[in-house]
Structure 1
Amino acid sequence: MAYILMLVTVATLLKILLTFSYTSTDFEVHRNWLAITHSLPPHKWYFENTSEWTLDYPPFFAWFEWALSHVAALVDREMLDINNLNYKSDHTLYFQRGSVIVTEFVLLYACYRCSLLLPKNIGKLSKQGSSSAESRQTLFMVLIAFSCGLIIVDHIHFQYNGFLFGILFLSFANLIEGNTLWSAFWFAVLLNFKHIFLYIAPAYGVFLLRTYCFDRLKCSWDVIKSFSFIRLFSLAFVVLTVFLVSFGPFIYCINQVISRLFPFKRGLTHAYWAPNFWAMYNTADKLLAIAFNRFGLISLNATSSSTSGLVQNVEHAVLPNIPPWFTFVLTFVAMLPCLAKMWYQPCVSYENSVNQFLRSVVLCSLSSFMFGWHVHEKAIIISILPYTLLAVRGTQTDARFFLFLQAVGHYSLFPLLFTSFETVIKMCLCLLYSVFAFSAFGYIYGFKSGWKLPLVSAHGNIYLYSLLGLEFFCSFVFPLLPVAGRYEFLPLMLRSFYCAIGTSVCWLKIYYHALVDLDANNFAISKVSVYKKKN
């Protein structure tokens, strides 16, 4: 317990030191939400539009802001004035930064619970390595407490993701313990705090149905015979009760709430492209537009609007425009294989079932990230943080893909911090976190340290090291070029496109690992066969 307190103390001090770093428009967003929820009655919250940053999170988060606002009133009441747009006093800064740090303790507590539940029977994979539960527990807590992604997104850029992921890991902890209804409860609560976690809802739905409402060891038609209506009713009662408590007070204006939660007019991609399939699609359209313009096939003013840097509907110049429904269908199709695998391949060991579930969580979130509508680059942490737990619980292959994904994903967050003061900070954060992660997992699996990154292929090493060259060009070389003013969007496009290649390859490899080459597959299948023979 002493080392946990030391980790928390050091991590908290680091985050306090970042108090005066850059804050994005999200800082003003949350200040405005404090003002809305404090100054107006609940029935007006989702109608208020004095600021362009209207309330667009589910009701539980609105009540969370309401609770914070009563503390904020003791610090600086001016921040709670709806008409004080872009208000940012020192006291406001201290309060909002402090609220992120304090509420993140929910994540640290939840992850500590998860760390205590790591499998005790993970044997050494080499004579030099050490994969004991204790070493993995320490590694997991360090990776969470000093999460590069959370520091960039929450403690510099400004959001409350640490608190929200704390609720998610509370759900994970209860699920690992076998407390299915409590796990479902916490996940339902999470959805009513931030609806982006719908990304992983299919994995939860299939796993809870398969392991709680049916006998997870049954196959084929035996599955139907094992169905328990009472358990389904219990599960539905817990989830629906949470939603009723959340949305009940707003039922009279439910259409207005839903229109705020799902604004489909924001365009295919965010102003800063997330490194996903659509970043490659946009890049291909831009290159084709330039080529077609060169040969006189299209006029210059018909080129793509995707590089305007604005949040708007994207009009492609050459490739077909993508409607929202198409991204939903594509995302659902991308999720189906891992969901089908979780349903049709039972695991005798509950530990294997949990690992299979966590892989599905990662794959569902990555599929949504790769093909979803108007995906923010920040959404990559919805894949990275659950993968952190799987990396310390699962196989060497899980650790390998986690290391690659976290390096690419964290680097893709760099455009969020575009001021010169944060350039060194974000580079140091990403490098130190990656160096520690690679070294720690290398130690666990008995790999010698050196310039070659452990657990990553030769091609992976080349790709990851080339990120250093890409960043050097984008940050230090490109601004000195004569064309920098004319093509100011180019560094962002290069980062997004290059990272999109990495996330795409990682997504495909994780899928292959989960469906075809899973280390535990043969063990699980053979155990099921033995179980059937005995019964």
Structure 2
Amino acid sequence: MKGIMQIILISLFAILLRWCVTYHSYSGQGKPPMFGDYEAQRHWQEITLNLPIDKWYTNTTDNDLQYWGLDYPPLSAYHSLLLGYIANNINSSYVKLHESRGISSEDHKYFMRLTVLCADILVYIPSIIYFMFSSQTSKANEKEISNLFGFNRKHISLLIMLIYPGLILIDHGHFQYNCVSLGLFISTVAAMLQNSYIIGSFLFVVALNYKQMELYHALPIFFYILGKYSPLKKASWLFNLKMLLCISVTVVSTFAIVWLPFFKNLEIFTNVVSRLFPFGRGLFEDKVANVWCTINVFYKIRNAFTNIQLAKICLIATMFEVLPSCINLYLNPQKEKFITSLINCALAFFLFSFQVHEKSILLVAIPVLLYFKTDPFSCFWFLIISHFSMLPLFLKDDLFTPYCATLTFYVCFIFWMCPDVFNNIKLPGNGNSTHDVRVTANQRQTKIKVKSNKKKSFFAKIKRYISCYYKKASNVILSYNLNLWIVVLFYSSILGIIILSIVSRFLKPPNRYPDLFVLLVSVYSCGHFIIFYIYFNYKQFCTPGNIL
């Protein structure tokens, strides 16, 4: 009963934090003629409510696709239709065809904000709780952290995941419904870690049909299932084949049910697909913290190649970066490798794929949150950078104050509730912490003691003891120096974030380079993401077994 009350208190606090953010500006507030993502979501409610389903993705006089045309999969459209019915019953002016464009009344703002909050409460928060309390953790590890609130490690991890500022500001500040697809993705991972692959496959197809950007996670899920039930395993090939068949039927039937209204004719189907993958928009729109935007600073890649050529380059580069992680996962489908592969593939898509948005970093940040309890320091650092990388978007939406407040609160909270975060730095070589290095040295010493009990000279025993303590001291000093350098780099990185945040907000860029500060934020973040990409790939390939 006490544990349930703590979960309720944590959830209420997370909801309160989200509600506080809703009192700030949103995307496109008071900025005609397009009015930003807030108006896009409202307009989709208007279109889906007032037009027949076969006209939702088709350009007509009543559905001008140049004005926030639907470009998300059918489940997003069905969600918009449901919200449109509710809005129409509350106040028909919210979704009146053509006449409701740019509506910005206070009561409508409360309605829209409440729809996101309800989606968060119904999907994202339960998914996080499901993941946290379905994962296996030893009782000793649960009691490792104790504090005046009586929270154990799982409760603290739950709160860390629920108050990640990046998602809160994008959904409840900027205004979107990422919490739905990301919540379904988290439930997918939780189900698969419990070996419920059919349920997990169903949940992922639902997530993918809500937002096509879930393709970032598709390959690791595919290869993890294929590795678990490979028909090439002679011992259980028949059972594996049956499981793969059941999973395939689940995936295909779920897709068919969701897309059924759009199978009337080929034109309607192709209209939907062309809206979901708009290659005509170009390599990137705004400045994004990925490789192509960084290269474009020094070499105008968008001017040197056509859109088709750039799409092919991005496809080859992305596949080249994700395949090693996927093949490793297929050959050794273990739980921790599954999580790190989700991180690595999502980060590769963000860094190298075509038409990336700033908000797409959330697709990397969520798997990093799921990995937090395994590698707190590295994940903590990444989450800070991911939030910072969206600073240009927050500045555009006049969300600088909540950006600073939520990030500062998040950092202070983790330092307060996880004071040992720097003690959990993973060392290269064997992935062990400083404590583990000392344990290894002690184990070596014990082995040497056993060997030295044999009949040997007194001087040989002394020599062995000296050698043992020398190795032990060297390991401890090496680990200490390495930890020290990593901590210095961490604080230097944070200092760079502080400087660039202040400069971007309060200084005017030179007239010759109006996007200077935006580019600095993008390049600075991209440099970090490349290093994290290398690090998490190293973690995947050097992970010996399951510890989740």
Q: Which amino acid aligns with 1:399?
A: P
**C-alpha deviation, 1:147, in angstroms:** 1.7
1:33 paired with 2:49, answer no
Letter in structure 1 aligned against 2:78: W
Within the alignment, does 1:315 sit opposite 2:292 as a pair? no
- Normalising by structure 1, report the TM-score: 0.81
> Are residues 1:410 and 2:387 paired?
yes
Q: By how many angstroms is 1:401 displaced?
A: 2.1
Deviation at 1:241, TM superposition (A): 0.6
Aligned residue among 410, 413, 432 for 2:409: 432
- Alignment partner for residue 97 of structure 1, among 113, 121, 143? 113
Over residues 450-504 of structure 1, what are the superposed CA-to-partner deviations in whole Å (9 max), with x where a residue is unaligned? Answer: xx9999443233223221122222222x32xxx6344221110110011110111
Answer yes or no: is 1:76 the counterpart of 2:91. yes
Q: Which residue of 2 aligns with 1:371?
A: 352
**Aligned pairs for 1:188-207 within 5 A:** 188-207=205-224
Tell me how far apart the structure 1 counterparts of residues 220 and 397 of structure 2 sit (CA, whole Å). Answer: 40
Following superposition of structure 1 onto structure 2, how do residues 114-153 of structure 1 map, counting pairs within 5 Å? 114-121=131-138, 135-153=152-170
How many Å separate the matches in 1 of 2:135 and 2:422?
A: 17
Q: 1:249 aligns with which of 249, 261, 267?
A: 261
1:22 aligned onto 2:25: yes
Aligned pairs for 1:383-462 (under 5 A) are 383-392=364-373, 394=374, 398-418=375-395, 422-443=399-420, 456-462=486-492
- How big is each residue's C-alpha offset from its partner over 1:23-59, in whole Å with a ceiling of 9 and x where there is no partner? 1111010000000010011111111326520001111
Instruction: Report if aligned partners of 2:288, 2:522 keep a CA contact under 8 Å in 1.
Output: yes
Match of 1:345 among 328, 332, 341: 332
Cα 1:446/1:457, change in 2 over 3 Å? closer
Largest Rg, 1 or 2: 2
Q: Check the 8 A contact 2:231/2:241 in 1, yes or no.
A: no
Checking the alignment, whether the CA contact within 8 Å between 1:438 and 1:454 is kept in structure 2 is no
Q: What residue identity is the alignment partner of 2:505?
A: S
Which residue among 510, 513, 523 is the counterpart of 1:484?
A: 510
Question: 1:420 deviation in Å?
Answer: 8.8
Query: For the residues of structure 1 that align with 2:185 and 2:487, how far apart are their CA atoms?
Result: 32
Given that 2:181 and 2:214 are in contact with CA atoms closer than 8 Å, whether structure 1 keeps it comes out as: no
Kindly report the root-mean-square deviation, in angstroms, between the aligned alpha carbons of the 2 structures.
3.0
Native 8 Å contact 2:376 2:421 kept in 1? no
1:282 corresponds in structure 2 to: 296
Contact 2:227-2:332 within 8 A present in 1 as well: no
> Which residue among 356, 360, 372 is the counterpart of 2:341?
360
In structure 2, how many angstroms separate the alpha carbons of the residues matched to 1:425 and 1:21? Answer: 8
Change in 2 beyond 3 A, CA 1:45/1:421: closer
What's the offset of the Cα at 1:20?
3.4
Contact preservation (8 Å) 1:76, 1:91 = no
Deviation at 1:130, TM superposition (A): 7.3
How far 1:128 sits from its partner (Å)? 8.5
CA contact (8 A) 2:76 2:210 kept: yes
**Amino acid across the alignment from 1:33:** W
Q: 2 CA distance for matches of 1:381 and 1:371?
A: 16
Q: CA deviation at 1:345?
A: 2.4
Corresponding letter in the other structure for 1:414: L
Contact 1:400 1:456 in 2 (8 A): no
Q: CA, structure 1 residues 342+419, in 2 after alignment: closer, same or farther (shift >3 Å)?
A: closer
* Structure 1 residue runs without a partner (length 5+): 286-303, 307-313, 347-352, 525-535
With 401-410 and 256-265 compared, the bigger mean Cα shift is at: 401-410
Cα distance between partner residues in 1 of 2:486 and 2:256: 47
After TM superposition, give the deviation of residue 226 of structure 1 in Å.
Answer: 6.3
The structural deviation recorded for 1:212 is: 3.4
Q: Distance in 2 between matches of 1:239 and 1:325?
A: 28
Q: Distance in 2 between matches of 1:129 and 1:13?
A: 25
Distance 1:357 1:466 in 2: 32
With over 3 angstroms needed to count, the CA separation of the structure-2 counterparts of 1:209 and 1:122, relative to structure 1, is farther
Secondary structure at 2:372 match in 1: helix
Q: Under a length normalisation based on structure 2, what TM-score does the superposition of the two structures give?
A: 0.79
Aligned residue in 1 for 2:285: 270
> CA offsets per residue over residues 419-463 of structure 1, 9 Å max, x none?
695322211211221232345444367579xxx999944323322
- CA distance in 1 between counterparts of 2:130 and 2:231 reads 27
1:181 aligns with 2:198: yes
The answer to whether the Cα contact below 8 Å between 1:128 and 1:445 also exists between their aligned partners in 2 is: no
Contact preservation (8 Å) 1:404, 1:506 = no
Counterpart CA distance in 1 for 2:242 and 2:397 is: 59
- The equivalent of 1:532 in structure 2 is none
Matched, 1:86 2:127: no
Instruction: Report the AA paired with residue 40 of structure 1.
Output: L
Matched, 1:495 2:521: yes
Equivalent AA in structure 1 for residue 518 of structure 2: L
The offset of 1:357, in angstroms, is 0.8
Alignment partner of 1:324 is 2:354? no
Contact 2:227–2:331 at 8 Å: present in 1 too? no
Is the 8 Å Cα contact of residues 75 and 95 (structure 1) preserved in structure 2? no
Are 2:377 and 2:424, in contact at CA under 8 Å, matched by a contact in 1? no
Change (3 A) 1:261 1:121: same
Shift of 1:255: 0.6
Paired residue for 1:301? none
Q: 2:174 and 2:413 mapped to 1: Cα distance?
A: 23
- Seen in structure 2, the aligned counterparts of structure 1 residues 281 and 214 have a Cα distance that, compared at 3 Å, is same
Q: Which residue of 2 aligns with 1:518?
A: 543
| Contact kept in structure 1, 2:18 and 2:168, CA below 8 Å | yes
Letter in 1 for 2:328: K
Partner secondary structure for residue 395 of structure 2: coil
Query: Is the alpha carbon distance of 1:467 and 1:249 closer, same or farther for their aligned partners in structure 2, counting shifts above 3 Å?
Result: same
Deviation larger for 177-186 or 6-15 = 6-15
1:121-178 CA deviation, whole Å, 9 max, x = no partner?
38669x99779x9733112221232120111100000000112211112212211222
The residue aligned with 1:260 is: 275
The residue that corresponds to 1:161 in the other structure is 178
The size of the alignment, in residue pairs, is 470
Match of 1:13 among 10, 13, 16: 16
SS at match of 1:94: helix
- Counterpart-to-counterpart distance in 2, 1:256 and 1:345: 40
* Cα displacement (A) at 1:102: 0.6
How far the C-alpha of 1:368 sits from its partner, in A, is 0.2
SS at match of 2:283: coil
Matched-pair contact (CA < 8 Å) for 1:129–1:445: no
**For 1:336-389, what per-residue CA distance to the aligned partner results, in whole angstroms no more than 9, with x for missing partners?**
11111111125xxxxxx2221111111110010010111011111111112111
2:46 and 2:95 in contact (8 A); partners too = yes
Separation in structure 2 between the aligned mates of residue 454 and residue 191 of structure 1, nearest angstrom: 42
The one-letter code matched in structure 2 to 1:518 is T
2:395·2:505 contact (CA, 8 Å) conserved in 1?
no
